[in-house]
Amino acid sequence: MSHPPFDVTARLAQLFVYPIKSCAGIAVQEAVVTDMGLEWDRNWMVVDDQGEFVSQRELPRMALIQPKLRVSDMVLRAPGMLALHVALDAVEKPLRARVWSDEVDAFDMGDTAAQWFSDFLGQKLRLVRFDPDFRRVCDRRWTPGQEAITQFADGFPILVASEASLAGLNARLVAKGQEAVSMARFRPNLVIDGVEAHDEDRLDSLQIDAQDGPVTLKPVKPCARCPIPNVDPVTALSSPDVGDALQAYRRDDRVNGAVTFGMNALVVEGAERVVRVGQAVSGNYQF
């Protein structure tokens, strides 16, 4: 189907932040945009005794850790555990942590948090917080002309997906007698409504009509998918249904044939502005 080159009209349908990398997300009605992504997104990360990050890839029970942001602390809850309170304005000793191939400056969050994560996940772990003075630069191969930065996200500040993309996947799952899944499987920050399935793949720019001025994002890299979408965020049990369905129609030559869902995006304009569910979204297609 052909599209006009301009005037994509959509709306911001959902907003999510994931304070701790690979733990459950929080649906929010509004969020402050920063150069490094949405405020509070992937500010914290769980690491092993070597400082290497861990995720649902090897520890699917991380999906069951539910954060709640309050004025002065973040409250973490998980099945069978007492609540853990993590101060928003305090850290302990500095350390180095590794996320993928990047070694970054971070802060340890103390022995109580370390014990809580170790007890729930069954191995020696610590909670760390990103040092906001450290510049973790995104892969320059995907950001020509702009030096973009992020915190503990896999590689880019913001992940965009569309409701139509999820509906298309769910139609395939249901047609095979399998259960539909929620957007929580894909862990996006922004979910847009009003475009066709996977139109987010083809947008050259995306502008959100925030109240205090436009927020402009540039989609730069399709989000290649690991096994995490196979993990049910409610039960932490894994089955191959989602991955198998995506394999049938979502291989992307731009990322060496990997299966993709959603687009990683950079913040071009509008840092410190507030985006809200329901705001208008417009954009231009690449072709």
Q: How far is 189 from 26, CA to CA, in rounded Å?
A: 10
Q: What are the C-alpha distances in Å from 179 to residues 14, 170, 184, 229?
A: 22, 8, 14, 14
Taking the model in full, what pTM does it have? 0.94
DSSP strand E in 70-202: where? 73-77, 84-87, 94-99, 102-108, 126-130, 136-137, 149-150, 158-162, 190-193
SS (H, E, C) 29-84: CEEEEECCEECCCCCEEEECCCCEECCCCCCHHHHHCEEEECCCEEEEECCCCCCE
What's the pLDDT tens digit per position in 56-96?
999 999 999 999 999 999 999 999 999 999 999 999 999 99
Give the closest residue to 125 by CA, choosing from 135, 134, 115, 133: 115
- What integer pLDDT is reported at residue 3 of this predicted model? 43
How far is residue 32 CA from its own chain's centroid? 15
Which residue's structure tokens are 């954009």?
283
CB under 8 Å to 44, separation ≥6 — which residues?
19, 20, 21, 74, 86, 109, 127, 128, 129, 130, 152
Cα torsion at 159, 160, 163, 165 (round to 10°)?
-90
pLDDT for 285: 87
Mean pLDDT of 164-172: 98
Tracing tokens 């990103």 back to the chain, one arrives at: 130
Q: Which residues contact 30 (CB under 8 A, 6 or more apart)?
A: 15, 274, 275, 276, 277
Cα 282 to chain centroid distance, Å, stands at 21
Q: Which residue reads 């022995």 in tokens? A: 111
10 Å CB burial of residue 82 (0-12, 13-18, 19+) is exposed
pLDDT grade for 287, boundaries at 50, 70 and 90? low
State the pLDDT at residue 49. 95
Mean pLDDT of the chain, nearest integer: 95
pLDDT reported for residue 8 = 84
Dump pLDDT digits (tens) for 197-234.
999 999 999 999 999 999 999 999 999 998 999 999 99
Considering only CA atoms, which of 226, 222, 255, 257 is closest in space to residue 243? 226
Domain boundaries, the chain: 8-285
Tell me the C-alpha distance between 113 and 107, whole Å.
12
* CATH 3.40.50.300 holds for 8-285: no
Q: Which two tokens stand for residue 45?
A: 């990360």
Provide the token pair at 275. Answer: 């985006």
